[in-house]
Amino acid sequence: MTAGMPFYVSPEQLMKDRADFARKGIARGRSVVVLAFDNGIAFVAENPSRALHKVSEIYDRIAFAAVGKYNEFENLRVAGVRYADLRGYSYDRSDVTARGLANAYAQTLGAVFTQESKPYEVEIVVAEVGSTPESDQVYRLTYDGSVADEHGFVAMGGGAEQIENGLKEQWREGMNLSEALVLAVGLLGTDPAGGPARQLTPTQLEVAVLDRNRPRRTFRRITGQLLERLLSTDDPTRDAPPADDGLDEHSTRDATTNPQTQRPTAQDGPPE
């Protein structure tokens, strides 16, 4: 063989190697479960960090969840916030949708997968809560830009297949928030290798919801004593209260949207 001859790799082999590389990176991460409940969509992640979030708000009724390399999905999250803010400011808040955001993410992930030397080792979910359970939207995007429209639930990360099998058997429509969280936490604690299940505590979890009953900004994090009560079988708490803990129900924050797009609508009346 001539010393200067370039090494040839078929396109099929190149794409397969990239896909295997991305899948291995994603499988090393802790799992995230996204599932519907009667009043919205819940996000449950095994994440002991209080600063590095796997679940975040994107816009009024849209949230983002991810597994994989933090720096890569954080760049995607920031890009999504900018996309939503710009579109909401240029047009109208109702023009910012999970489907539009998922399409933008798909283009970015697909371009990186085919053109860059290394694909993103991420898997993400973009969810939008509607006025009814039937109008909720949940999109799952993989490392190569593929988009799937999910219904009811989705699991990502290490052990996702086993968790999804458990969700298929145990999840049902109309579950309250407490039932949905107990189910998700129990499945997150299962051992993919078949070992004994772990008992995850609230301090090991990152939990958030898109609550369709909240005005304007539907995203809220569930932490502290509220999360403990929702996970306890001895406590009668089954749903989150309409206002944040320590936040007055008529706080001005409840009447605003994303800080970058606080333009009043017709029903809001003139600003004070």
- Let me know if residue 261 belongs to a domain: no
In the chain, DSSP assigns E strands to 32-37, 40-46, 55-59, 62-68, 122-128, 137-141, 147-150, 153-156, 205-211, 219-222
Cα–Cα distance measured from residue 149 to residue 128, given in angstroms and rounded to the nearest whole number: 12
Query: Does the residue 32 lie in any domain?
Result: yes
- Structural domains of the chain, count: 1
In a domain, 5, yes or no: no
Q: Where in the sequence is the domain holding 194, given as residue range(s)?
A: 11-233
In tens, the pLDDT along 238-263 reads 888 776 554 434 434 444 444 444 44
Residue 121 in domain: yes
Residues in the chain: 272
DSSP state of 148: E
Give the pTM.
0.85
Q: Determine, yes or no, domain membership for 3.
A: no
Per-residue model confidence as pLDDT tens digits over 171-221: 999 999 999 999 999 999 988 777 788 899 999 999 999 999 988 899 999
% of the chain beyond a pLDDT of 70: 87
Q: State the CATH number of the domain containing residue 219.
A: 3.60.20.10
Q: What are the counts of helices (DSSP H) followed by strands (DSSP E) for the chain?
A: 6, 10
